[in-house]
Amino acid sequence: MRVLLLSDIHANLQALEACLEVAPGHDIAVNLGDVVGYGGNPNEVVERVRQYCDAHVRGNHDRACSGLSDLSSFNPLAALSAFWTRRALTPESIEWLRTLPRGPVTVAGLDHVQFVHGSPSDEDEYLLAVTDGLTKLLISTVPLSFFGHTHIQGGFSLYGDAGSEIHPFLEAGNGLARNELQLLNTAKYLINPGSVGQPRDGDWRAACALYDSHTSKVTFYRVPYDLKRAQKRILEAALPSRLAARLEFGR
Ligand code: ZN
């Protein structure tokens, strides 16, 4: 089975469309959460993800923007954008966001894989440091977990006693880039496809990934998109200008 992984789209319609355009053939698409928040096209992105993706996990922004949780854990910038998003969302979009399941989510035919937003044990936990990832992998009974939330493409692996960080090392620049990772049957993995709509790993290009269960390969992608248009939409919506500026730097 070939699985397209989309995470942290954050209402960036231009980035989402660019990823879908270059994505190679796949059997299913999985949304790893944070469909909305930060970006200027929340309803359009909800509609597209709802139609396109076959499985979903809810993110903290999906909860906050649909009123399932309050904004107390959000920094001022995130809270401001969540407040704007709540008012911009249609009742239908809000209703759909509220139905999204908490991870881990599994998919029929992929017994060895789970999908989460934060970590397998806590949907709001950030797996940033290698120790965060290895702590989870040591106790995990599922060999392969896909996660999001940190907006950093890559992840962690555990092979025997040896744990390491996964850095995809994609070609730098402004073009389309991809890189393959061969998974070992005897290792355990936590893999983040990166953020479609608001990368924070220093690369402005939209991030996504494809997992092929037959070849046990994960292909990471960086996809150029219409950045100016996404920024314009944020500014037109009178969202904080910092949200538009950061897209350019992938921070
Ligand atoms: Zn996010």
Q: At residue 34, does pLDDT exceed 90?
A: yes
Q: How far is the CA of 12 from the centre of ligand 1 (A)?
A: 12
Q: Quote the percentage of the chain above a pLDDT of 90.
A: 98
* Widest distance between CA atoms in the chain: 52
pTM: 0.97
| DSSP state, residue 206 | E
- Identify the pLDDT of residue 89: 98
pLDDT of residue 143: 97
Query: Average pLDDT in the 117-128 region?
Result: 97
What's the token pair of residue 246? 């950061």
CA distance 79 to 37: 9
Q: Tell me the CA–centroid distance for residue 196 and ligand 1, in Å.
A: 10
DSSP 237: T
Q: DSSP per residue over 174-201, as a string?
A: SS-EEEEEEPPTTSEEEEE---SS---S
Span from the CA of 34 to the centroid of ligand 1 (angstroms):
5
Residue 97 has phi, psi (to 5 degrees) of -60, -35
| Ligand 1 centroid from CA 197, angstroms | 9
Q: Which helix (H) or strand (E) holds 56?
A: strand 55-56
Mean pLDDT over 198-217 rounds to 98
Separation CA 183–CA 107 (nearest Å)? 19
The Å distance, Cα 186 to ligand 1 centre, comes to 31
CA of 72 to the centre of ligand 1 (A): 16
Return the SS3 of 115. strand
Instruction: Give distance in angstroms: CA of 160 to centre of ligand 1.
Output: 31
How many angstroms does the Cα of residue 185 sit away from the middle of ligand 1?
A: 30
pLDDT tens-place string over residues 153-175: 999 999 998 999 999 989 999 99
Arithmetic mean of pLDDT, 187-203? 98
- Residue 160's nearest CA partner among 132, 182, 134, 124 is 134
pLDDT given at position 153: 98
Per the structure block, which two tokens stand in for 140?
A: 């995990």
The mean predicted confidence, pLDDT, of the chain is 97
CA of 94 to the centre of ligand 1 (A): 17
Q: How far apart are CA 98 and CA 202, in angstroms?
A: 32
Rounded-to-integer distance, Cα 176 and Cα 85, Å: 30
| DSSP SS3 for 147 | coil
9 Cα: distance to centroid of ligand 1 (angstroms): 8
Q: What pLDDT score does 210 carry?
A: 98
pLDDT of residue 218: 98
**Distance from residue 37's CA to the centre of ligand 1 (Å):** 8
Instruction: State residue 169's pLDDT score.
Output: 87
pLDDT of residue 81: 96
d(CA 5, CA 49): 12
∠ CA 127-139-115, rounded to 5°:
55
In angstroms, what is the span from residue 203 Cα to ligand 1's centroid?
A: 16
- The mean pLDDT of 173-193, rounded to a whole number, is 97
- The answer to whether the Cα torsion of 189, 179, 107, 89 is positive or negative is positive
- Cα of 118 vs centre of ligand 1, distance in Å, is 9
**How confident is the model over 81-92, as pLDDT tens digits?**
999 999 999 999
DSSP 148: -
pLDDT band at 13 (very low <50, low <70, confident <90, very high): very high
Task: Using the mean position of ligand 1's atoms as its centre, give its distance from the Cα of residue 219 in Å.
Answer: 21
Q: Which protein residues have a CB closer than 5 Å to ligand 1 (ion)?
A: 8, 34
Among candidate residues 148, 201, 154, the one with its CA nearest the CA of residue 35? 148
**Going by DSSP bridges, is the β-strand pair 28-31/55-56 parallel, antiparallel, or unpaired?**
parallel
CA of 150 to the centre of ligand 1 (A): 7
Q: Residue 35's pLDDT is what?
A: 98
CA of 198 to the centre of ligand 1 (A): 8
